[in-house]
Amino acid sequence: MLRTRRGVREHIVSLLEVVLIAFGLSMDAFAVAITLGVPVKNPTRMEIMLPGIYFGFFQAFMPAMGYVGGMYSVNKIQGFDHWIAFALLGFIGGKMLKDSLSKAEEKPAAKNTLQFIKMLLLAIATSIDALAVGITFAILRVNILRAILITGTTTFFVTMAGVKIGNMFGTKFKSQAEFAGGLILILLGIKIVVEHIF
């Protein structure tokens, strides 16, 4: 009975961690989506959904690729796997924090923000970090199908919200979104190390 309860508890914690990681990763897409929504006057439903489709797909695809690569090497690094997870999440989160605190002025988004090539490049660029997270998923033996479904779906809705917010309020929340996402990933990395030590 105790073992069953413990298994349920671990399942819930694991699911919560995946959800938090998904939100952390989606903040990059959210920040870019805000800039995409700024120049679009009265966006149609498709103009709001399109960035979500692009970003959501690649945020799900990249972790899957990272997971496949990570599974080939996971057995060789189990003794220090938690430090690798910490380093990956810390690096990704730190990069997001640095970007959010950057004082460099950004150029306004062009009016053709929803062109295919531009959307494709932005989706790939914002999902590169998810490749490293996919390796982390392999190390932690996360259910990858559930993880990519949660990550893709979360990014889809968060990106749509970003487009709408950008259209209504401009780029006011861009840096705050990046900062929050980076902080979430760093705290999760610390949590993983603490759990393995204690």
Q: Which two tokens stand for residue 165?
A: 């917010």
CA distances from 16 to 9, 37, 73, 142, 146 (A): 11, 30, 26, 12, 12
Q: Give the whole-angstrom CA distance, residue 31 versus residue 74.
A: 33
Q: Give the whole-angstrom CA distance, residue 33 versus residue 109.
A: 10
Domain boundaries along the sequence of the chain: 19-101+111-197
Could you tell me the pTM of the whole model?
Answer: 0.69
Coil, strand or helix at 173: coil
What stretches in the chain show pLDDT beneath 50?
1-6, 8-10, 13, 104, 107-112
Q: Give the whole-angstrom CA distance, residue 151 versus residue 23.
A: 8
pLDDT in tens, 38-61: 777 778 888 889 999 999 999 999
Contact 33, 105 (CB under 8 A): no
Q: How many residues does the chain have?
A: 198
Displacement of CA 73 from its chain's centroid (Å): 23
